[in-house]
Amino acid sequence: MSTNLQFIKSESADNVSSFTITDIFSDSYDVYQVYVTGNGSSSVSSLAAEFLDSGGSDIAQGNYDTAIRRLDPSSTFSSPNTESANSFEYVYPSSTDNDFASLITVYNPYETEYTFATIQSMSNQGSKAIAIAKSTTSATGMKFYANQNYTPIVVSVFGVK
């Protein structure tokens, strides 16, 4: 697979607990890279995402499976896997370090087959994950959210040629 990135869109927001970016996936690419950076308030427990259809609805509500390997330098590794969840976790910050960065690689989101993603994230700990949205609805956007406000969040999307 080549690694030529084609810029699609970048958006940001400040002091919000959810953030939606639309019109990012189409039939132009099979693979996308979504970069997410920001800061969560001291009470943020985890940050999650979901894929949206063209009308802004979650394509796989209750049908996300995720396998995570959390790498915490201050304790042991953990694997908080989920099945049939309402979203997938993409970063887990702690109350002591809330800056985060994530790279989400999304495979075939616009196809009418399951959408897969790999996630690499870093805050005061790192994580690697794989996620699947078990839906055959085309995804055209994403929603990111937390239990507290982002201050700020920046999402940049690239197609991979």
Number of domains the chain contains: 1
Residue 146 has pLDDT above 70, yes or no: yes
CATH of the domain at 82: 2.60.120
Instruction: Kindly report the length of the chain.
Output: 161
Show the domain range for 141: 5-160
Q: What is the pLDDT of residues 38-76, one digit of tens each?
A: 886 666 667 899 999 999 999 999 999 999 887 777 667
Is 119 in contact with 104 (CB distance < 8 Å)?
yes
pLDDT of the residue at 38: 85
Distances (CA, A) of 160 to 90, 97, 133: 20, 31, 20
Secondary element (H or E) of residue 158 = strand 141-160
pLDDT of the residue at 118: 96
87: closest CA among 56, 63, 53? 63
Listed in order, strand segments (DSSP E) in 1-140 are 5-13, 16-21, 31-40, 47-52, 64-71, 82-85, 88-91, 99-107, 115-122, 126-133
116: closest CA among 139, 145, 100? 139
Between these two residues, 74 and 119, which has the higher pLDDT value? 119
How far, in Å, CA of 148 to CA of 161, rounded? 36
Q: Residue 102: which residues within 8 A CB-CB, separation 6 or more?
A: 35, 36, 37, 47, 90, 91, 119, 120, 121, 122
* Averaged pLDDT for residues 112-137: 91
Q: What is the pLDDT of residues 81-97, one digit of tens each?
A: 778 888 988 776 555 55
Q: What is the pLDDT of residues 4-38, one digit of tens each?
A: 999 999 999 998 889 999 999 999 999 999 999 98
Task: Return the amino acid letter for 46.
Answer: S
pLDDT of the residue at 44: 65
